Amino acid sequence: MSTPQPLSTIMPPALSDADQDALTDLHIRGTPPNTLRAYERDLIYITAWKQAAFDAPLSWPESETVALRFILDHSRSLENVNPADPALTVAEALIAQGLRKTLACPAPSTLDRRIASWRAFHRMKNLASPFDAPLLRQTRAKARRAAAKPKAPKSANPITREVLEAVLATCDHSLRGIRDRAVLMLGWASGGRRRSEITGLMRQDVDLKDYATDGIIWIDLVGTKTTAKGKTPRLVLKGRAAQALAFWIEMGRIDAGPLFRPITRNDNPLDRRLSPDGIYQIVQKRMDMAGFPKGFATPHGLRSGFLTQAALDGTPIQAAMRLSLHRSLAQAQQYYDDVEITENPATDLLG
């Protein structure tokens, strides 16, 4: 009776060319387009990095030595290193190719994403990833800890109800004003939607069947950062927010296609969808028109403002999360914790 091999020495079965093609095709069809584009960019970068560092193409599976060098090269600043440092030479070559911007230490999230892509390429080939080795896992953890910085808020200030009202007051009765009012109200009142979620909405994602009788609009998000495609619960829009959205649909004659669109100088909607940067421009323009200082808030202020206002109003956090679609109670709780203790509704329980 033969002695069983340790799990660490068992290699995955080799795939035939046909099976490899089928596996790759399945990964492509089962991966979101944005993720595929990120994979493509990362593969270009990783390939160029190895060529510059080792004068060799990528290997499958890649060696732990190469993977370790990749982590070390991207876990420190190269701005004041010895001119003979090999990592500096490689970085300058990548900058010359337009694949790297500076010699500063890349953000830990950027390195994490490239490593995740590299691991995904190994999975597509049914190969073990070198990044799963204990030494590399420990090195990556140390590098992440060394580069850790206090997390800056995505918006300098939350767009609370008071701020939102001041911003909405700048929206006139032009088609642009009607659109901007609908964007801001939907983005805030539906739970604090992200820019991509707002711009991704199509006319068919908005259900007006109960609007005439109950003043309610149902919204179907295809997917969000925290929910899978097709698994996102329906959201509801009521009151002034529902009225603003219905008025935009009517006045913009949005019968099909993208819900929110660019507006021409002649105040006519285009057929294409508004971009996420368009949402950023709307928020910045309206904040400026309302008299707020430059950089006071970003579109994420709609999300943080919704949760902050929910805390100020004494709304149970679980109820707010049903609209914000936060998966983590701890993450949503941060907005509640940011409310000044003197503004906490619980301080008035006795009256």
Reported as a single tens digit per residue, the pLDDT across 175-226 is: 999 999 999 999 999 999 999 999 999 999 999 999 999 999 999 987 676 6
Assess whether 112 and 177 both reside in one domain.
no
- Taking CA atoms, 349 is separated from 314, 344, 346, in Å, by 11, 10, 5
Mark whether 182 and 325 lie in a shared domain: yes
Pairing state between β 217-219 and 206-207: antiparallel
Please give the tally of structural domains in the chain.
2
Same domain, 187 and 122: no
Do 135 and 198 fall into the same domain? no
Do 186 and 302 lie in a common domain? yes
User: Between β-strands 217-219 and 235-237, what pairing exists: parallel, antiparallel or unpaired?
Assistant: antiparallel
Q: Kindly state whether residue 7 falls inside one of the protein's structural domains.
A: no
In a domain, 124, yes or no: yes
List the chain pLDDT tens, one digit each, 351 residues. Answer: 444 444 344 445 565 666 566 656 666 666 677 777 888 899 999 999 999 999 999 998 999 999 999 999 999 899 989 999 999 999 999 999 999 999 998 888 888 999 999 998 888 888 899 999 999 999 988 888 887 766 667 888 999 999 999 999 999 999 999 999 999 999 999 999 999 999 999 999 999 999 999 999 999 987 676 666 666 788 999 999 999 999 999 999 999 999 999 999 999 999 999 999 999 999 999 999 999 999 999 999 999 999 999 998 888 999 999 888 888 888 888 888 777 666 777 777 766
State the residue range of the domain holding 263.
161-348
Judgement on whether residues 123 and 173 belong to the same structural domain of the protein: no
Determine, yes or no, domain membership for 10. Answer: no
Domain for residue 244, yes or no? yes
b/e 87-107 (16+ beta carbons within 10 angstroms → b):
bbebbebbeeeebbeeeebbe
Instruction: Show the DSSP H helices in the chain as ranges.
Output: 17-29, 33-54, 64-73, 86-96, 108-124, 134-146, 161-168, 175-189, 195-199, 211-214, 239-251, 276-289, 300-312, 317-324, 329-337
Q: Are 135 and 57 in a shared domain? A: yes
